[in-house]
Amino acid sequence: MSDYVYHIRHDTHYAYSLPVRLSHQMLRLTPRSLPWQICTSHGIGITPEPQNLRLLLDSFGNPMQSFSLESDHVDLRAVAESWVTLTQRLLSPMTPPWELARAKLSYQAGQYLLPDDLEATRYLFESAHVRIKREFLAYAMESFTPGLSLLDGIQRLMARIFCEFTFDPLATTVSTPVTEVFATQRGVCQDFAHFMLSCLRSLGLAARYVSGYLLTEPPPGQPRLIGADASHAWVSVYCPGFDGQASCWIDADPTNGIFPDTSHITLGWGRDFLDVSPLRGVLIGGGQQTMDVAVTVMPAHEAPGFGFAV
């Protein structure tokens, strides 16, 4: 298989109207190591220089940095640069009927869950941005007809969201409820991921929120714009092992109506956006704040310093 090598630069800048006296922050900007993805080089620069910098894994296994700023400051900048190598994913067309996948994780007295199944159960329930409701179940059931394979049901639901919902960056904010997204059928990738998760979990399937990046191509004849990309989000659905087949997770991108492959770079996953927010923390002071984010994803041969580590 061919390797696909990318350079990612993620620049986040906060400006505050008043000095911040104390700031405790968590960063999730390090791509995960996966069977199809290797992060060959990675670095994060933080200004002002932080104190108590710690490297650790969160409860979902995502790489995370925590740090403190203990002196007055009026802005904060975090710049992450990564080199990532991807190989083509192997998506097996052989998946069980979706009802069997659901039953494998449903509670039954005396039922023994394998470790992978038990881990998946944490993605069955409501979370801050994902709801379990009858209207989401009804929408999902139009795609997950009786006896349909899990993979085909995921594909049908993903395609419907792609066709019926409109990408509109002005329609929502990070706090817009998923019920409103369903009512207006407008939003961004984060909204579509939360909606698809709400449908899947309302159906009784385990599904998680995936945060990452998507390589986008400029129009023919136009140069790639530096800083014009953005973080991306999609979903991943658990398929338990059956008939000798190992369990797996099936990624689906409802914003683009495709199964992610060599253009999707995974940062991490959780129950919803709050679990994998790129930069999140608490502070004392600061007054009003503004945030600017510039993301650039490009093939390695277009990147400055190609052939050299970050």
Q: Which helix (H) or strand (E) holds 156?
A: helix 150-164
Q: What is the pLDDT of residue 308?
A: 37
84 bridge partner residues: 6, 39
DSSP structural state of residue 258:
B
CATH of 4-87+276-302, picked from 2.60.40.2250, 3.50.50.60, 1.20.140.10, 2.60.40.420, is 2.60.40.2250
- 251 is written with which tokens? 């990624």
Range(s) within the chain of domains with CATH label 2.60.40.2250: 4-87+276-302
Q: What is the pLDDT of residue 307?
A: 41
Beta-sheet strands, E only, within the chain = 4-27, 37-47, 51-57, 63-69, 73-86, 166-167, 186-187, 207-214, 231-239, 248-252, 264-270, 279-285, 289-299
DSSP structural state of residue 121:
G
Give the number of C-alpha atoms closer than 13 A to the C-alpha of residue 210, restricted to the C-beta side: 24
Q: Pairing state of beta strands 186-187 and 166-167?
A: parallel
Q: What is the pLDDT of residue 244?
A: 76
Q: What is the pLDDT of residue 86?
A: 97
Q: What is the pLDDT of residues 11-53, one digit of tens each?
A: 999 999 999 999 999 999 999 999 999 999 999 999 999 989 9
Q: What is the pLDDT of residues 210-240, one digit of tens each?
A: 999 999 877 777 766 555 578 999 999 999 9
How many CB atoms are located within 10 Å of the residue 7 CB? 21
Range(s) within the chain of domains with CATH label 3.10.620.30: 98-275
Which segments of the chain have a pLDDT < 50?
A: 109, 306-310
pTM recorded for the entire structure: 0.93
CATH number for the segment(s) 98-275: 3.10.620.30
Q: Identify the three-state secondary structure at position 284.
A: strand
